[in-house]
C-alpha cells in the first residue's frame, strides 16, 4: 500500500495501530512506503517516517512526539 490514502492496519502491532489512530485524528495521512515503513504527511508539515514494526517500547512514543512537534501551535502563531 504505497500511496493509498487509507492504510490497512489489520496486521500491525497494537501500539502502531494506536499511533495511526492518533495521527489520523490529528489530520495526518498515513501511508506505507515500499520498504514497509510508515509515512505520515500533513499539509504544511514535513513528512515523518517510522518503522511499522517498532523494536522497542519507546518507538511509538517517540513517533507520537514527533507528530505533535511537527504541528504548528495556533496560539503561538497568532501571538507573534
- Domains with residue ranges and CATH for the chain: 14-71 (3.30.920)
Instruction: Give the pLDDT of residue 74.
Output: 54
Residue 73 has pLDDT above 70, yes or no: no
Alpha helices by DSSP H, listed for 1-80, are 14-25, 59-70, 74-79
In degrees and rounded to multiples of 5, residue 32 shows phi and psi of: -105, 135
Q: Which three cell numbers stand for residue 73?
A: 501551535
In 27-78, beta strands by DSSP E: 29-32, 38-42, 45-50
Q: What would the pLDDT profile of 15-66 be if each residue is shown by its tens digit?
A: 888 899 999 999 999 999 999 899 999 998 999 999 888 777 788 888 899 9
SS3 of residue 56 by DSSP: coil
- Describe the crossing of helices 59-70 and 14-25 by its angle, rounded to 10 degrees: 10
Amino acid at each position: 500500500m504505497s500511496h493509498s490514502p487509507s492504510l490497512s492496519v489489520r496486521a500491525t502491532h497494537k501500539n502502531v495501530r494506536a499511533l495511526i489512530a492518533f495521527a489520523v485524528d490529528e489530520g495526518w495521512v498515513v501511508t506505507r512506503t515500499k520498504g514497509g515503513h510508515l509515512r505520515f504527511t500533513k499539509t504544511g508539515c514535513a513528512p515523518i517516517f517510522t518503522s511499522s514494526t517498532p523494536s522497542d517500547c519507546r518507538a511509538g512514543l517517540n513517533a507520537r512526539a514527533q507528530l505533535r512537534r511537527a504541528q504548528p501551535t495556533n496560539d503561538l502563531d497568532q501571538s507573534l
